[in-house]
Structure 1
Amino acid sequence: MNKKILLLASIFVLAVVAIGSVSAFDLGSLTGGDEGTTVTIGGEEFTIPAGYEENTDLAEDDNVTEYSTFTSTLNEKVFEKGDDFIIIMVSEYDGTDVDDDLINFLHGESKKINDIEGFQQNDDTTFSFSYGKDNKVITVSATQEEVLNQIIA
């Protein structure tokens, strides 16, 4: 009888240890890990890929600029991962319509990313994609072109 109690106690201890090990194990590693973080910038949602950290020193919140015929409100966030970065700017316009001509004037050649039509401009170190949505110009810039596809949805 004492052997049965000892055996049951041992099984109980092993079960507790096993449950503790499983709960401490990162189950996300079985599914590919962290999928990123969702952020809201200027009322628009974006998913920032895993590993990027926000640099709050470079953020712009509701920065209003008045022009002769319209007003723009800029919201901007910067995310960094080593030497790589992501910059997302959302400019809302009051007093003028955001259209393809305005966006094209600001940035590049016509392109479609994830069913969103806009304009892309590249240089030696940065890929930028701009598009219009709800009288806003949204520009996503990154050091890695494939990151644009992850953010723009």
Structure 2
Amino acid sequence: STGTPKGVMVEHRGLMAVSAAWERLYALHNPLNHLQMAGFSFDVFSADLIRALGFGGTLVLCPRDTLMDPPALYRLLSEARIDFADFVPAVLNPLLVWAQETGRNLSFMSTVVCGSDIWTAHSARQLRRLCGERVQIVQAYGVTEASID
């Protein structure tokens, strides 16, 4: 990204197609609790909104000061019974380090997505260890023009 905001027209059919793909990939027919971490000007905000409210789930808003506070973020994930979260590496990686250091895990979640920036194989393996085999892990990286992800 150049850092310069840009307006992008996303057509309804693209949004409908990606919504149908999310429903299949993430099993959204089962209502889930989703954590909303993205600002409203980012495409991930729209994705969170659609994946939660469009399929009968719950959208839990994450306070800004909680994002970079791993103990507070973990507490929110646990207490709100978050099933689904779409992280950026800058938020997920410190959470993984803290969870590993304190003996916590993320096995209570159903899907963890990481995207919007470079994510290392080391971090992906660390996440797998903390989630166990049951949790779906997805690395999503797409451009807004492609209707999110």
Query: Which TM-score applies when normalising by structure 2?
Result: 0.28
- TM value normalised by structure 1: 0.28
Task: Flag the structure with higher strand content.
Answer: 1
Which structure shows the bigger proportion of residues in helix conformation? 2
